Structures are given as C-alpha cells and as structure tokens.
Amino acid sequence: MHFPSDLAATRRDLLIGTAAAVATTSSSSRLAAQAPADIGPVIAPVSFEVNGAQREFSLDARTTLLDALREHLHLNGTKKGCDHGQCGACTVLVDGRRINSCLTLAVMHQGQRVTTIEGLGTPDNLHPMQAAFVKHDGFQCGYCTPGQICSAVGVLDEIKAGVPSHVSADLTATPEGSEAEIRERMSGNICRCGAYSNIVDAITDVSGRKA
Amino acid sequence: MKFDTPATTNPIDQLKVIGQPLDRIDGPRKVTGTARYAYEQHDVAPNQAYGHVVGSAIAKGKIVSMDLAAARRAPGVLTIVTAQSAGKLGKGKYNTARLLGGPDIEHYHQAVALVVAETFEQARAAAQLVKVRYAEARGAFDLAAVKDRAPDAKPEGESPTQTAVGDFAGAFATAPVKLDQSYSTPDQAHAMMEPHASIAAWDGDKLTLWTSNQMIAWSVGDMAKTLGIPKENVRLVSPFIGGGFGGKLFIRADALLAALGARAAGRPVKVALTRPMMFNNTTHRPATIQRIRIGATPDGKITAIGHESWSGDLKGGGPELATQQTRLLYAGANRMTSLKLAVLDLPEGNAMRAPGEAPGLMALEIAMDEMAEKLGLDPVEFRIRNDTQVDPEKPQRPFSQRRLVECLRIGAERFGWEKRSATPASVRDGKWLVGLGVASAFRNNLVMKSGARATLGRNGIVTVQSDMTDIGTGTYTIIAQTAAEMMGLAIDKVKVELGDSSFPVSAGSGGQWGANSATSGVYAACVKLRDAVVQKLGFNSGDAVFEGGAVKSGNRSVPLAVAAREGDIVGEDTIEFGNLDETHQQSTFGGHFVEVGVEAATGEVRLRRMLAVCAAGRILNPKSARSQVIGAMTMGAGAALMEDLVIDKRRGFFVNHDLAGYEVPVHADIPHQDVVFLDETDPMSSPMKAKGVGELGICGVGAAVANAIYNATGVRVRHYPITLDKLLDRLPSVS
C-alpha cells in the first residue's frame, strides 16, 4: 500500500512547486520591466496521452495543463473557474488520480496519461457517473460539472484503494463510501448553484450504496 | 397574446409533459463537457487573440499617467486599449460605474486597460508591464460611519422607498409587547463558477459577442449605447451560462473590452475576467444595516411593524431593497418602512439572487423569532397568527394565492418541530448543542413580457427559438415541456434554441420571473402555431386536439408533420401582461426549517437537516425546480454562516477577492436537503399558472439557520455571517 505516502509526497511537491512558480513570476516580471521585453517565450516540446490518444505539443512553458486542454486541444469540458486551485472546476485524472489542471504546467506531464470529462463518455454513451448526475440532477449551470464528475470518479477509486480522508475514523481501516466520506472528499469541488445534495445522491448511487 | 383575465382551462392543464420531473434535455451535454460556454467558442470566428484586463489599483481618484511602452514591446502584444485610446464611450442604462475607467477612477479594480496578445500567456505577462500612476482621492468605504447622514433613497419606478400606513409611532409606543433591534448583513458576492467571459468579432460595423449573460435584450441595448452604435449592429449569443445569480444581468468589462480590443486589433478577441478580479470589478450584493421594530398584543397580534434599512452604493446607484417583504408579509394596522442610501466608493452594488428579500428576511425573520420568544409563543404559531390574505397596506387588494400557513404547518409536521425545546441550549447530542430554527420564505412573483417563435418542420420536429437564457435554471427543459404539451408531442420531438439576440425578445433570467414568463411566451407562440397548423390542414379550429404527434378533429387524425409537408410552419408571439398583478398581489411563499449542531467547546456550526416547503404556483418540472430550491438554500446557508466581503476601509476594496478568501459552502457544509412543493396553480399569474421558485429558496433560510443557532446555544447573533468568533465567548459552559 504505497498510495497514502505517495499522496503525501505529492502534496509536499505541490507546495514547493507553487512557491517556486510564484517566485519565478515575480522575478521574471522584474526582469522584463528592466529591459529585454523582446525575449520571446520559452517554447518547449511535450507529449502526453489525452483520452487514449497520443498528443504532441510545442507549448509556451507557462501554459497550464488546463490551458493546453482548453485552448490548444479545444477540449472545452475541463473548465476554468478560478485558475488558482480554489474551485475544482478544472479537475482531470492524470495517471488515474485527480488533480487541478490549473495548478500544473503542461510541460510537467511528459509521457503521462490524462483523462478529461470527454474521455469518460459521450452524450450518446454516458459513463455511469455522468448518467447518475443526469438522473439525480447533480448540476444546474453545468460549469463545475465536468470537474465534479472527474473528481467523483477519482473519489470512488481512492476509497476502493483504501486511501483515508480527514473524516475517516481509523486511518488504517478500509474507508467506507459513506456520505460523510463523499462530502469530505468532494469538498475541493465548489458548486455555486448548490447541487451538493443531489451530487452526493449521484455518487452514492454509482458506488452501489443505498442513498 | 395579452394576458389580462385569469387563465381558464388550456392544453397545459393536461400535464402529460408539464409538471413531470423529467431529466434536463441539456443534461447529457453538460455532463460530457460538450455544452459550450462563452469562452469556448473557438470556431465561431477565426484567428482569435487573447485580451487580459488591467484593473485599477485605487478605489477613487484619477489616473495621472500610463506607461504602456514595456507592455507594447512585450512578445506577442497586438494592441492595448485604454480609455484614452478607446474614443468616446457611453454608459449602459444598467451600469452605474463605467466599464472602462480613466482618467477618473470610480472603484477598485475598475478596468483601466486591456492588453491584447497572440496568446493567453503573453497577454497576461504583458499586462503586468502596464505602469499606471494614480492620484488617489479620499473615499467613503464604511457604511456604519456614513449611515446617519444617508438621505432617503430615491424611488425606483412606482415602488416607494418610504411607506407609512396608520400610526406606527403611536401604536408602537403603546404596544404591550415590543421589540426594537438592529441587524446587519455584509456585502456578498455572486461567485458564480464561470467567470465573466466574452469573445467579440466585428464584421464591418457589425459586432457579434459570444458572452455569458442573463438578459440578452438589455445587454444588446447597453452594448450599443456604450459603443455609440445602433442596436441593430449588435448581436449577442449566450447559449450556456455558467451561473449568474444577478451578476450577469448586465454587460460587464469583459464584453466591452473584448469589443474594443477586437476593433483595435482588427481581429476577434476573447476576454475572461480572472477570478481575483471578479469581486471588485463586477457587482455585488450591498451590505445593509437594518432596524426592526415590532409591537404586539399579549396574545401575539402584531399592531405595529417598522423596518428601516441603510445601504450604500456608488453615486447614481440604488439601495438594497431590504424592506420590501415587510410591506406584505405580516398583518398589522400600523406600519412603516424606510430605505436610506449612502454614497460609498466601493465597487458597484446591484442585484444578487432575491435582491431585497434575501437580506431583508435575514433580519426580519430573526426579529420574528425574538418577538415570539418575548410573547412566549411558538415561532411557527406566532407567524400563523399574523398571516394576512390581503395586502396589509391596501386591504381591498387580495393575494392571488397565499398558502404561507400551510407551508409552515406542513413543514413543522414533516420536520418534527414538536420535538423542539422552547428553552435554548437545552438539547445535547454528544459534543453538539442541537437546535431547530424556522423562518418564513417570501418573494414576489414578477411577470415580464416575453416572446418566442415555434417552427414546425417537415420532419415533425418543433423548434422553439427565444433570446431567453438558461443559467442553470432548467429553461431549456421547461420550454421543451411547454411546446411538447401544447403541440401534443413527446419531449424528444422538440428542439430548443436559446440565448441569441436574433431570436424573439424574451423576459430573460432575473427576479425569478424567467420560468413563468418565458414559458408563457412559448405558450403564446404555440397557440399561433396550432392555429396555423389547423388552418393548413383545413380543420375546424374549435375542436382540434393535438395529441400523440397528431392533430385530431372528429374522426380525422393527421400526423402533425403532414401540415409542414410543403414547408415550415411558424408561430411567433409575445405574451404581454395586463394589470392582474395590480389587482392581485402575486407572491410566492414558503417555510424553511433547519437543524444545526453547534460544537459545545469550539462554537463550530454544522447544518444537520434542512427542509423547505414552497407554494409557488404550478411547478413546471419538479426535478429542476427542486434543484433551484436546494441551490438557493445552499446559498442562504453560505450567507448565514460564512459569506462576507471584507472591506479594507482605508483603501476601499474587498480584500478577500478569490474563492479561498471569500468562502462559499462546499460539499462538507451541506446536509441532505428536503423540498416539498404544495400542489398549487395560480390562474392570475399566466396561462402556465406558474410562478418562480429560483429566489424563493434563499428567502428566509439564513434566518432559519440563525434561529436554530440561538435555539441550540442561547446566543442571539444579529450580525451576519454567524462565525464561531461571535459565539465563542457566550456559549454555555461546557459540562
């Protein structure tokens, strides 16, 4: 069971990564303000798999994974709600784990496997989680919805893999897919329309537990 | 179609499709990411460039100079728009502050420039290089500090801001039981999930804007007015809107700057406001300070009720109408309300979900709870004793429907209200202090002129077009249900196209008038279409029946598609409302019931159960209507417990301007929610006999939470949000 410790390491990396990104931004703007505004962007090659297809990019190194998906691949399902990792609308699955795609640069994902909402199902062939969201009306405006669904798919996998959460009473026992566990784990995905009660019903339905 | 006499039986009453809890017809697109929002229209105009907005760093004053040299030199930059370069701009009817500031600055983060570049990253980086020198002026940012000098708010339209009936002062002075308390609600943000975003493209002197907007016709007019071009030259397209809540009723800086940027760059430009800019750049719900006085007889009959509210806005702005509901909600012969409006130099205040009632009921319904306690009455019973079936200011004017008492009684029964202890802080569940709270919900039913076009194609599909918007409310679905019911079709034989200003002008989405008004417009268009079909088929219009995809008359039955064999048949009409809303007060009602647990040591508040019982006319789709109500209850819970735009009173801006600082409810904050709709039709409201529910759900719920916290702890908090610091030093001692 390496998952929990991997997760912890990822969180630390993320904090370090964020701090570094902030530092770079401010120093580069100082640099640019001093003179050479004519230095062009750093263009970097990167390739990764998106929804089963290998994609090659040549990207401005500042491009987030979110903008690579939205602005370069025109996969619009992954939403930009805050661009700051505060709302969860941009949640995608990378190598099977959910992340905020706005908080990570595209060039950091060389060789990885990205699954977006478009990779889960289509209007004519819905993924069970997508179908459950429709059935339980787990959305209104629909803007946070792809992120909620990707997150929900990730949550059920995490519970299955035995990853504990803040509300798990016993960190070593297999967590249950209780409503409290779902609410806690889904709390990084904001829905301002307030469909939470229905979203929990949808996820519970897919998890096989009685609502 | 003119609606000026109460509705009688019509095809909608069949309820084969209307009234059914159908899944949203746009659901599969939304859950697969294939519903496209404004910023995602990559293919509508080629060669789109990216704009990034620069916001003012001061709240009030002037721009002294702008140094754009470094930004212009930055890689990829195509053009920079400022007030100086934009030429003469007007101001929209619905905007208080200008959308592009300079040299005068009216509020913090007012847009002062748009940097347009080849890529998003380049535009963002170059925007950091724009150097602006300001001369900062002193501003007023603190409502409490200027409140006492605030004059009466000016009346808007026919709605007075100062009302008086009977002798309030005398009746209050002599009332045997009375309450005189002050309450406050903070500034709040819509914080819809989709940031304001627009793509603009010019074709000669004609502008097309793909944007995120609730009110297409208003915004076409305001865009034309701001740019100084004819309305006919502006087209707005807004098929999906990622939430609005009033924040997208008007054009905002993204739309104007995209248009100006596209004109300057000579190619299409897309602009989205960044999340941290939304809170100060756009509108918000203004803070209020409210004073409520209630006088009653010992048996709980209100004899005097007075409600005063103070709010602030930029010069030329309007008040938060927090006293509105108090004119109509409870009986009482002697009454007064007053709205005062201070000038503040904060960002523009404007409508947010249930403007007026949402903050007004947050205060009034705590006052009612306090008064019930003074009288020794159950708070449900106290409200019931003061029900009125007529407009208390004009007793000759009845409510069209008013079932508040039933909402409260049914809610109390369902929620187990009889188990509530009248003594605060007397129920424990482990470490939790447990309490129940109740509040009335009230919101007026507004009706708005609304048009639609229904076209029958030779494939038998009816296509409905209207500039109406679906902001998550379920408009696509209820319009399809309306057309299906009218034309005797299954819902999958109806196609709905919305949010395009080239379609007939509708009511738009605001003030919870959208569902009832827009479907009435579709009803009117379908009546026209039915007439045209009957005529085409040579049927006697009096006895033709539309059902099962066919038109039937006597023993003849013809498939609907046959009528369009030689070409499309079009029905287009607009519903217009007479004065039934003047002869009868049309409102929606509800009862909110909330159970909270308050952690005995830390004061942490957890919602345990929530129930709303609503009486809102015919419910067109119980599934999407229920979602409207639970969503509003969630927003109301946020207002009660966490939402608070914190003002820097020296510099005049909202400090917590992102979703980490401005907290809104998340999954873990919200329990299972129950909603009950009373079976009701209101023939005074429209041929649909429906009313709105989108705002009713937020009305009163905040006070129900506050009252539950009081019941749990014995701590009465009158200043929202009820955060634990306001409870901690007064919690019962932990035993």
DSSP, collapsed to helix, strand or coil, labels residue B221 as helix
Residues B719 and B673 in one domain: yes
Q: What is the ipTM score, two decimals?
A: 0.97
Res B85: pLDDT:
97
Best residue in B193, B604, B608 for a mutation probing chain A (most A CBs within 10 Å): B193
Beta strands per DSSP E along B445-579:
450-456, 462-466, 494-498, 545-547, 550-553, 556-559, 569-577
Res A16: pLDDT:
41
Q: State which residue of chain B sits closest to A64, comparing Cα positions.
A: B121
Partners of B441 in beta bridges = B590
Q: Does B296 map to a domain? A: no
Res A40: pLDDT:
76
Average pLDDT for residues B219-243, to the nearest whole number? 98
> Does pLDDT of A211 surpass 60?
no
> Does pLDDT of A3 surpass 50?
no
Best residue in B30, B119, B199 for a mutation probing chain A (most A CBs within 10 Å): B30
Residues B44 and B27 in one domain: no
Tokens describing residue B168: 């309030």
In a 13 Å sphere around the CA of B439, the CA atoms on its Cβ side amount to 34
Residue A10's pLDDT band (cuts 50, 70, 90): very low
Task: Point out the least confidently predicted range of A198-207, B390-399, B433-442, B538-547.
Answer: B538-547
Give me the helix-helix angle, B701-713 and B357-375, nearest 10°: 40
Average pLDDT for residues B353-379, to the nearest whole number? 98
Average pLDDT for residues B522-534, to the nearest whole number? 97
Task: Tally A–B CB contacts below 8 A.
Answer: 225
> In B417-513, which ranges are continuous DSSP H helix?
475-487
Handedness of CA B362, B365, B369, B371 (dihedral sign): positive
Residue A11's pLDDT band (cuts 50, 70, 90): very low
> Where among B233, B262, B279 does a domain terminate?
B279
Q: Does B160 map to a domain? A: no
Residues B485 and B544 in one domain: yes
Average pLDDT for residues A168-176, to the nearest whole number? 89
Partners of B454 in beta bridges = B464, B571
Please indicate whether, in this complex, the C-beta atoms of A192 and B193 are within 8 angstroms of each other: yes
Average pLDDT for residues B459-470, to the nearest whole number? 98
Give me the helix-helix angle, A128-135 and A196-207, nearest 10°: 140
Average pLDDT for residues B497-505, to the nearest whole number? 98
Judged on CB neighbours under 10 Å (0-12, 13-18, 19+), B568 is exposed
> Does pLDDT of B569 surpass 90?
yes
Question: Distance between CA atoms of B673 and B633, rounded to whole angstroms?
Answer: 8
Residues B662 and B721 in one domain: yes
Question: Distance between CA atoms of A104 and B647, rounded to whole angstroms?
Answer: 32
Partners of B585 in beta bridges = B399
Of B344, B626, B332, B573, the C-alpha closest to B465 is: B573
Q: Which of A29, A78, A134 sits opposite B31 (nearest CB)?
A: A134
> Where among B255, B279, B303 does a domain terminate?
B279
Of B434, B414, B412, the C-alpha closest to B424 is: B434
Res A23: pLDDT:
34
Residues B491 and B597 in one domain: no
Q: Does B569 map to a domain? A: yes
Q: Which of A121, A143, A197 sits opposite B670 (nearest CB)?
A: A197
Residue A133: list chain B partners with CB under 8 A: 27, 31
Q: For residue B641, give how far its alpha carbon lies from the nearest alpha carbon of chain A (Å).
A: 15
Annotation says B695 is catalytic? yes
Residues B531 and B556 in one domain: yes
Specify whether the CB–CB gap between B258 and B271 falls below 8 A.
yes
Task: Say which CATH number the domain at B473 has.
Answer: 3.30.365.10
Residue B192: list chain A partners with CB under 8 A: 141, 143, 192
Residue B269: list chain A partners with CB under 8 A: none
Question: Distance between CA atoms of B623 and A140, rounded to whole angstroms?
Answer: 11
Residues B211 and B93 in one domain: yes
Res B157: pLDDT:
76
Average pLDDT for residues B145-162, to the nearest whole number? 92
> Does pLDDT of A21 surpass 60?
no
Average pLDDT for residues B96-125, to the nearest whole number? 98
Please indicate whether, in this complex, the C-beta atoms of B660 and A63 are within 8 angstroms of each other: no
Residues B451 and B473 in one domain: yes
Pairing of strands B432-444, B206-211: unpaired
In a 13 Å sphere around the CA of B633, the CA atoms on its Cβ side amount to 33
- pLDDT (tens digit per residue) in A118-128: 999 999 999 99
Residues B630 and B677 in one domain: yes
Q: State which residue of chain B sits closest to A75, comparing Cα positions.
A: B33
Average pLDDT for residues B383-411, to the nearest whole number? 98
Q: What is the helix (H) or strand (E) element at residue A176, kind and residue range? A: none
Question: Distance between CA atoms of B246 and B530, rounded to whole angstroms?
Answer: 35
Please indicate whether, in this complex, the C-beta atoms of A134 and B667 are within 8 angstroms of each other: no
- What is the pLDDT of chain B when averaged over all its residues? 97
Domains and CATH numbers, chain A: 41-120 (3.10.20.30), 128-207 (1.10.150.120)
Partners of B288 in beta bridges = B185
Choosing from B194, B308, B497, B695, the catalytic residue is B695
> Does pLDDT of B244 surpass 80?
yes
> In A35-160, which ranges are continuous DSSP H helix?
65-67, 117-120, 128-135, 145-160
Q: Does B188 map to a domain? A: no
**CA B24 to each of CA A141, B113, B317, B679: distance values in angstroms, whole numbers, following the listed order:** 11, 40, 38, 22
Specify whether the CB–CB gap between B593 and B417 falls below 8 A.
yes
Judged on CB neighbours under 10 Å (0-12, 13-18, 19+), B538 is exposed
Residues 6+ apart with CB under 8 A from B534: B540, B541, B544, B551, B553
Average pLDDT for residues B27-39, to the nearest whole number? 98
Question: 10 Å Cβ neighbour count for B659?
Answer: 25
Residues B113 and B223 in one domain: yes
Question: Distance between CA atoms of A176 and A179, rounded to whole angstroms?
Answer: 9
Best residue in B26, B32, B40, B212 for a mutation probing chain A (most A CBs within 10 Å): B32
Residues B133 and B273 in one domain: yes
Average pLDDT for residues B470-487, to the nearest whole number? 98
Residue A38's pLDDT band (cuts 50, 70, 90): low
Q: What is the helix (H) or strand (E) element at residue B63, kind and residue range? A: strand B61-67
- pLDDT (tens digit per residue) in B691-730: 999 999 999 999 999 999 999 999 999 999 999 999 999 9
Domain that holds residue B85: 38-137+200-279
Q: Does B342 map to a domain? A: no
> Where among B251, B279, B307 does a domain terminate?
B279
Residues B48 and B124 in one domain: yes
Specify whether the CB–CB gap between A78 and B33 falls below 8 A.
yes
Average pLDDT for residues B323-344, to the nearest whole number? 98
Residues 6+ apart with CB under 8 A from B163: B323, B327, B335, B336, B337, B338, B393
Question: Distance between CA atoms of B486 and B526, rounded to whole angstroms?
Answer: 6
Question: 10 Å Cβ neighbour count for B662?
Answer: 25
**Amino acid in position B655:** V
Res B257: pLDDT:
98
Partners of B429 in beta bridges = B432
> Does pLDDT of B504 surpass 90?
yes
Residue A24's pLDDT band (cuts 50, 70, 90): very low
Looking at the 3D structure of chain B, how many domains does it have?
A: 3
Residue A70's pLDDT band (cuts 50, 70, 90): very high
Q: For residue A125, give how far its alpha carbon lies from the nearest alpha carbon of chain B (Å).
A: 9
CA angle B627, B633, B638 (to 5 degrees): 130
